[in-house]
Amino acid sequence: MISRAHILFTSVAIVSVGAALWLAPYAAAQNSGFRNAPASAAEMKNPYKSASAAAAGQKLYALNCAQCHGSNLQGIGPAPALDRAPVRNAKPGELFWFITKGKLESGMPSWSNLSQQQRWQIVTFLESQGNTKAAAK
């Protein structure tokens, strides 16, 4: 015999499965890379990862980025801090991609005028600033 509790349980289960299927694509979209970087960006490997690359990147950061993002990556006004989790967890190629492209409409210039080497050096510098994930790579 089918109890009332059983019917209730079954309907709740059906509704939950339905909701999970419905929300799954949304959850997947939320988990996409840093700033919706394409997978091809995430796969790029940084060819400039030495300590001297980090030092060169630090100089480039001071010249080009510090006026907006702060000399200690702390962020100033609309320019976000770069020592936060989203940046720390971003893959090197995703940072390279975003720095190259910029987002002019919200005030982040494109840095495609810097050489690829210089952009990677900046990525190496950013990652040298307490990014344990990158340090382990």
By CB under 6 A, residue 35 contacts ligand HEC: yes
* Region binding ligand HEC by CB under 6 A among candidate stretches 17-25, 36-44, 45-53, 77-85: 77-85
By CB under 6 A, residue 87 contacts ligand HEC: yes
Considering only 22, 51, 78, 136, the residue that binds ligand HEC (CB under 6 A) is: 78
> Which value, in Å, is the radius of gyration of the alpha carbons in the chain?
21
Q: Are the CB atoms for 60 and 125 separated by under 8 Å? A: yes
Question: What is the Cα 12 distance to its own chain's centre?
Answer: 37
| Contacts of residue 102, Cβ cutoff 8 Å, sequence gap at least 6 | 108, 109, 110, 111
Q: Are the CB atoms for 81 and 74 separated by under 8 Å? A: yes
Q: CA 121 to CA 48: how far, in whole Å?
A: 6
In the complex with ligand HEC, the residue whose CB is nearer, 10 or 112, is 112
By CB under 6 A, residue 98 contacts ligand HEC: yes
In the complex with ligand HEC, the residue whose CB is nearer, 50 or 89, is 89
Residues within the interface to ligand HEC (CB under 6 A)? 35, 64-65, 67-69, 78-80, 82, 86-87, 95, 98-99, 103, 106-109, 111, 122
